[in-house]
Amino acid sequence: MTLHQAKNDYPPKNYLNRELGLLAFNRRVLAQAQDDRVPLLERLRFLCIVSSNLDEFFEVRVAGLKEQIKAHSPVITTDGLTAHDTFRRVCEEAHVLISEQYRALNDVVLPLLAAQDIRFLRRSKWTDAQREWIREYFFREMVPVLTPVGLDPSHPFPRVLNKSLNFAVELEGRDAFGRSSNAAIVQAPRVLPRVTQVPREIAGCEHGFVFMSSIIHEFVGELFAGMTVLGCYQFRVTRNSNLFVDEEERTNLRTKLQGELPQRHFGDAVRLEVAESCSESMVEFLLDQFGLRRDDLYRVNGPVNLVRLMAVPDWVDRPDLKFPPFTPGLPKAVGKGANIFQSIRRGDILLHHPFQSFAPVIELLNQASTDPAVVAIKMTVYRTGTDSVLMQSLIRAAQNGKEVTVVVELMARFDEEANIEWATRLEQVGAHVVYGVVGYKVHAKALLIVRREEGQLKRYAHLGTGNYHPRTARLYSDFGLMTANDQITQDVNEVFKQLTGLGKAGALEHVWMAPFTLQPNIVAAIAKEAESAKAGKKAMIVAKMNSLLEPETIDALYLASQAGVQIELMIRGVCGLRPGVPGLSENIKVHSIIGRFLEHHRTFYFFDGGKESVYLSSADWMFRNFFRRIELAFPILDPKLKKRVIVEGLKFYLADNQQSWDMNGDGVYQRRRSPRAKPHSAQSELMLTLGGG
């Protein structure tokens, strides 16, 4: 049960569909692979990113639609579509998108790579030397771990792991036991690489690769001695990866999750990908085995799992075909060897990742773990990685006798296993580990350090828009604030008290917190701008986030637009609001930036009568963030830092005419083109402005 119930009195015509918006976002990612201004190996990487995104889309969003359809759910989404209507439209759009993706791979990217002496060797064109080397590789590296399964009454169709590579083989003849079977399945173990590098002297080019699917297709007959192979077809099934844990009835969430996680690999099938050449009889057989229909079938002209090509750019030493190397900058206040607590006491420190290094955050926790003056550390963990130096510092702090409290979100999708492991290790060294609040994910990014100084306790805090994850901090654009401001740190302390204890929510001086004050305060701030506009005063809202879907907030933006407020929204992913509609939203513009780094920070600006209120947040403007999660939005109080956020986080992006897309009222995006204007790329300019050279 949440603290807020969604309203259902908004006209459906005012809203756009979430699932279709996600597919539109992936079209913009695909456009990066189709853009000849993007370095060639990065274009291949963007093709892989599209596949990775679509995998999660089917595992979560499409799986959810199928659950609703199966349950005959009467629920109609904000935009007025039923689950069945949405599913039908998603299927149409997804099939077109995936076809375009493989055309980009086969007709553009692979030929261009070949022209650069980077080739994926086709079976039909193998030389004798290549075939012999690959044959030897097959017997040496693959045969020992392959287990062909003939399908007969003694060998039923095997359990197929989620997103695993498999081969359906059509056979003719009898085996050594006299058995006759017309089909077999060969499952490709995940320990085997999906792409293999071929030595230069054998490949006949600087960088030669061969797909595992090509190797299996060529030599699959060796696995069925004496029988005739009539056909061999790669296939891959995507399964529902939602975890079904009843948080209301749980007694130990960690134990429940540990029992549930292995079943994620065998959830209900939601998509079947097969080779374009797959026979109709085999397609029908596979669809029947997985309980799928024709709408769920995706024939592809190439590997069924492009995600596994992600490593290829790293293997190829061609800097001229990649983004130029970039070294994040380091603010002077936290230079090498600085006492970070002294630096923070001198004034708030703003970090803008990945343009500025995440190292100060690591150093803050590292110094805290060994500093004799530090008495307590409290931290939230949502995603942090399996080899996190931050978690190692927390463990070291606990071993050094600090009072360490960690709020671990066990339900962070696809990171549950890593978080369970860290929770266990932290408990083993005496840290206090809590799992937040029943029914609410802890998505806030907060770190609080308590230090004894001159006989008194002094608090230091780090608040961020992104995860405590050093790797993604090099890839995602996020803001982080280090502060010793007494009012802010008091608010953060109150937040941790609510997360770990019981009792009524205490009032916060500056920080907005979901599920209590975040959404009401945002709606109130929007309404305040509307009142200013009605009074003939200057009014403006600029907001940047990943998704905008919550209907009450959208409705407030519509009313503000109608009052004359100028509204600029930068929404990387899904936007349920229709911009530029006469009489509804003519003063609202929606943009989307897709570039080298993943835009991730949430920044909210309100003109506020000239005071220019600026908040950074972990939360998108979505129902789940506002009412089903613990989220924080924190103000930037220092005037210099506030100006930095406005310039770096908003103005640079509004001026972007290289990587920006403009959305119309129907949810259609057009790439912004300004041929006569000076080129502006927000990410490039931030790299130049903040980078370490």
Q: What is the pLDDT of residues 204-227, one digit of tens each?
A: 999 999 999 999 999 999 999 888
Query: Strands 349-353 and 297-300, how do they pair?
Result: unpaired
Average pLDDT over all residues of the chain: 91
* 476 annotated ligand-binding residue: yes
Residues 283-336: tens digit of each pLDDT = 999 999 999 999 999 999 999 989 989 999 999 999 999 999 999 999 988 877
* 572 annotated ligand-binding residue: yes
Claim: this prediction has a pTM higher than 0.85: yes
- Residue closest to 150 by CA, chosen among 110, 116, 177, 115: 177
Cβ atoms 396, 367 nearer than 8 A: no
Cβ of 345: how many Cβ atoms within 10 Å? Answer: 14
Q: What pLDDT does 248 receive?
A: 43
Cα 580 to Cα 125: distance, rounded to the nearest angstrom: 54
The enclosing H or E element of 195 equals: strand 195-198
Q: What pLDDT does 384 receive?
A: 81
Q: Which domains, from first to last, does the chain contain?
A: 12-321 (3.30.1840.10), 332-506 (3.30.870.10), 513-690 (3.30.870.10)
**pLDDT band for position 550 (cuts 50, 70, 90):** very high
Residues 249-294: tens digit of each pLDDT = 444 555 554 555 455 456 899 999 999 999 999 999 999 999 999 9
pLDDT at 109 over 50: yes
Burial of 225 (0-12, 13-18, 19+ CB in 10 A): exposed
Q: What pLDDT does 155 receive?
A: 66
pLDDT at 6 over 60: no
pLDDT at 457 over 70: yes
pLDDT at 420 over 60: yes
- Rounded (10°) angle between helices 83-103 and 63-70: 150
Phi, psi of 104 (to 5 degrees): -60, -40
* 600 annotated ligand-binding residue: yes
State the average pLDDT over residues 615-640: 97
Q: Which residues contact 559 (CB under 8 A, 6 or more apart)?
A: 526, 527, 530
Higher pLDDT among residues 9 and 646, named by residue: 646
Q: Which residues are catalytic, by number?
A: 443
Q: What pLDDT does 227 receive?
A: 86
Q: What pLDDT does 541 receive?
A: 98
Residues 60-103: tens digit of each pLDDT = 999 999 999 999 888 778 899 999 999 999 999 999 999 999 99
* 53 annotated ligand-binding residue: yes
pLDDT at 416 over 80: no
Mean pLDDT is highest, among 60-74, 180-194, 507-521, for: 507-521
pLDDT at 247 over 90: no
Query: Strands 446-453 and 441-442, how do they pair?
Result: unpaired
* 298 annotated ligand-binding residue: no
Cα 553 to Cα 302: distance, rounded to the nearest angstrom: 43
Query: What type of residue is 505?
Result: A
